[in-house]
Amino acid sequence: MDNSVCFEKFKDYLTNVKKASSNTLSSYLRDIRQFGEYLDSHETVGYTEADEEVLNGYISWLRGMGKSVATVSRSIASLKCFYTFLILQRIVSENPTGKLVPDKCEQKLPQILTSSEVELLLEQPECTDFKGYRDKAMLELLYATGIRVSELISLNVTDVNLTAGAIRCISHDKERFIPLYPAAIRALSEYMEFVRPQMLARKDETSLFVKVSGNDKLKVTFENLKDGTLPAMLTVSEQDRRFGEMMKLYGMQNDGMPAPEGELVLNSGSDMIKRLAAKAESGDESAADSAGYIYRLALLAQRKLSAEELKDFLRGSFAMLDKLV
């Protein structure tokens, strides 16, 4: 059977039968493709005609090319899987990889951080904004408990007991309770009490650590709002309030309509927005300052500004006042 046919059949087997992960799939196929290239350039046989001698020669060639022990061992595993597949499909009758033995990988001792390196690591997040407080709590929790990152991001608020100073971690259907040291409790308490509520995109969010989205940044959209009484800009939360009042006025229910959050809607029909757009098109540098001020003003309606954001907002406010006074 042609090499390309064998390769495609093996690929289909890994994908649809074995349900191999993307990493496993790419590694196995890369190894088998490389073996095929070796056969084309060094041998006169294909996949189905290769015997133990050919396979041993290929492994020796890999070692001679300076491939690491781990790479050679993975290649052997790929070849064993490939030829086992060919036997199951009755494409070959004998397995030439039966006597291939992978080299033992050198067991390296894990490198550990010194006390000063740990302190430096824990000091990296700057607690000047929501992300800084969140990252600080995450690092302290990782250091205090030794849990995996996957376990960290799977934690829910209900898994934390600050009074008892412990967290509940569930992994592979196993539950364990892990105590925390004071610094981790303090960082986690500050995050949960003051920061996390401001970061929530939805009030019913249960995850302990949430993305820096929702109320942290605003998506900006333009809409030509027909109602002439509407202002030049409004956040979605304000838009939803107006919409809810209108529905209530007409006796309509909106229980099944989730309210989007974190969006700034600019009314393209507004004279102010039209003037701002015209300034931007003409290259007027003040347009960028005005747009930034509008954005920060809307952001202020969504959440508390960080120290740097508040400084920028006040600077912009005073600059605009200087032009008016």
Residue 165, domain CATH = 1.10.443.10
Query: Above 90 in pLDDT, residue 34?
Result: yes
The token duo for 137 is 């709590």
pTM reported for the whole predicted model: 0.39
**Pair (227, 313) in one structural domain:** yes
Domain range for 280: 219-324
Instruction: Answer with the one of 71, 88, 105 that is the final residue of a domain.
Output: 88
**Pair (224, 305) in one structural domain:** yes
Phi-psi region of 315 (alpha: psi -120 to 50; beta: other; left: phi over 0): alpha
**Pair (182, 227) in one structural domain:** no
**Pair (59, 140) in one structural domain:** no
Specify if 96 maps to a domain: no
How many structural domains does the chain have? 3
- What average pLDDT score do residues 236-264 get? 45
Specify if 105 maps to a domain: no
Distance (Å, whole) CA 201 – CA 219? 13
Residue 49: pLDDT band with limits 50, 70, 90: very high
Could you identify the residue written with the tokens 């009484």?
A: 229
Q: E-assigned strands of 125-165?
A: 160-161
Specify if 232 maps to a domain: yes
**How long, in residues, is the chain?**
325
**Pair (80, 122) in one structural domain:** no
Residue 261: pLDDT band with limits 50, 70, 90: very low
Burial (CB count <10 Å: 0-12, 13-18, 19+), residue 109: exposed
Residue 54: pLDDT band with limits 50, 70, 90: very high
Distance (Å, whole) CA 80 – CA 98? 8
